Amino acid sequence: MGFLLLSGGTFAIVAQPPDLPPPNILWVSSEDNGPHLGAYGDDYATTPNLDRLAARGLLYRNAWSTVPVCAPARTTIISGLYPASTGAQHMRSQSRLPDGFRFFPQYLREAGYYVTNNAKEDYNLEKPGGQGAVWHESSREAHWRNRPDGTPFFAVFNYTVTHESQIRRRPHTQVHDPAAVRVPAYHPDTPEVRQDWAQYYDKLTEMDALVGERLAELEAAGLADDTIIFYWADHGPGLPRGKRTALPTGLHVPLIVSVPEKYRHLAPADYEAGGSTDRLVGFIDFAPTMLSLAGIEPPRHLQGRAFLGAHEAEPNEFLFGFSDRMDERYDLVRSVRDQRYLYARNFLIDRPYGQRLSYQMETPTTRVWLRLFQAGKLNEAQSVFWREKPSEELYDLENDLDLVNNLAGSAEHEAERERLAAALRRQLLTIRDLSFLPEGEMHRRAADMGGVPWTYGQGGYQIERVLPAAELATDRSRWGSGDIERLTRMLGDPDSAVRAWAAIGLRTQGEEAVRSAGAALRGALDDPSPPVRILAAEALGRFGEERDLAPAVELLLASASITENDFFDALLALNALDYLPPSVLGGADAQGWRDRVSGLPSEVEGLDRRFRNYVPRLLEAIRLDLDKAP
């Protein structure tokens, strides 16, 4: 059998060794769990099947999800591109690749593989070529058994038993003892937290049994010696400060790869059965690696590096993490790690990690943790999640397991901070990170250009001007009177993204900055860009003079209607309303504003089902604030 290389419309053949058929590739994945397995040294875990797989395969100690939530993480895997390059970075958004780009199973399919997915997709990108063009089968019945005789397969089986929703499901018959669980330093030690963590380990054991059944099925079919096996999880645990957090607690995942003896030529040089490696690998590397295993040279536009196969690349020096809108809440965090340290840059620093995100609040740990914070009963390490974020974070991954000692301000670690910050900045510019545009603005600009977000990012996006504006607006170490003046001038910039960051920067600095720039912010209420108007209104509504409050609230209420505005602009306005202090919402026109909020539409005909819960959740949050208003 030959193997197709497809890149830029050209084809090439890469041969296997004589008389050796191409390998089958089996993926077994689980959801919402970090490397809390016996094979990774976790003595509390009961995972015998995965431990046995690791005993005959290679365990990756530094595997990285890239995004700490399912849809953009899976979008990274399937496309081989960072979602922030394709406009697919926000949770359950929808974007499209440029013509000629494809999902990696399509390349395998064209090379003669039978490709199946059982069953989760959850991509933030439209399928190139439409439904049926990516997988031969994608359903709960999809299976490698259905392939034509003699055809190699690439098969995915995904297990949801470890998902966030299962950790909090009650009643539950406990197996692991909550009294024996290790509570991380950032969580309060309460019965609710211990039960959630113990139930998480119970679910890992259930998942492990399912993986064992899948591996036994392969053995029984006599295919174990012909199949390269991957086990991985899609991101960190479904507990607060795990999932959705662009730190190792949300990004560090298990990865075990087993390569049969006959295909050891496709394994890396450090492969040893039962061994482990510190090589840095991320989900961005999965697509080129699968192509490399099949003998296909990865297309040049892919942004990762193959870590196995005929086209294995040089190891990564860094891994990068991304966190953007999670369901109804906006955030913007970027992180980078090497072998020893992790650096994170926060760009919405007046939004805490622990935003009131409805789905996350269903977990008992989240609720008790917030309640104790509000009561002032937490220590410093436990309180950080609920406070405004620092501009920068730096953690020693060897000596700070729970990431509670931020070294960003340490003179001793200044060189590491500068090195990693520079690497992150280079990466954001290289991949043309589109998240520095408001979400609605990103889609409008791409449409106005007649293309998709990727093509706009490559051809019209002035990130070299926009990124410095975001850095200036959100770097606490540079704040001063000169910065307020610069941010005020930026409100007149010709690029609406720069103007948006100016409004964010003034809002973030608080009352002194907003009142100093009051005239410019009032002028921005008439800006042609809806996000600039909304961001200026939030700044004035939170920190402006008395005369600013009513116009700010009126603009936000008008912008929050999903029947009258672009959906993403309305989502931005609803978030802004929720951050207004109760004293503003309880002003002279309080009853009128209550009535206006109650009258805001929560549904609109034709709204994508992915977004249907977002507006009702935000409206409920705003009503809770109104109930607290004087």
Q: Tell me the three-class secondary structure of 609-621, residue by residue.
A: HHHCCHHHHHHHH
Give the other-Cβ count within 10 Å of 276's Cβ. 18
DSSP string, 568-584: HHHHHHHHHHHTS-HHH
pLDDT beneath 50, residues of the chain: 1-13
Would the CA dihedral through 161, 163, 169, 172 be positive or negative?
positive
- For 157, the token pair is 């089986």
Q: State the residue for tokens 């912008």.
A: 559
CATH topology of domain 451-628: Leucine-rich Repeat Variant (1.25.10)
| Residue pLDDT, tens place only, 444-476 | 999 999 999 999 999 999 999 999 999 999 999
Buried b (16+ CB within 10 A) or exposed e, 171-207: eeeeebebeebebbebbbebebbbbbbbbbbbbbbeb
Which residues sit opposite 329 in a β-bridge? 326
* 334 close to 321: Cβ distance less than 8 angstroms: yes
Q: State residue 10's pLDDT score.
A: 37
Taking alpha carbons only, the member of 154, 109, 84, 83 closest to residue 6 is 109
Q: Count the Cβ atoms, other than its own, within 10 Å of residue 412.
A: 7
Task: Report pLDDT for 16.
Answer: 65
C-beta separation of 229 from 26 below 8 A: yes
User: Which one-letter amino acid corresponds to residue 581?
Assistant: P
Provide the whole-model pTM. Answer: 0.96
Q: Is 588 exposed, middle or buried (0-12, 13-18, 19+ CB in 10 A)?
A: exposed
State residue 587's pLDDT score.
65
Residue with tokens 């039962």: 274
> 101, 83, 103, 102: which is closest to 93 by C-alpha?
83
Catalytic (active-site) positions: 70
List the domain boundaries for the chain: 24-316, 451-628
Instruction: Please tell me the CATH superfamily of domain 24-316, with its number.
Output: Alkaline Phosphatase, subunit A (3.40.720.10)
State pLDDT tens for residues 398-416.
999 999 999 999 999 999 9
Cα–Cα distance, 60 to 64 (Å, whole number): 10
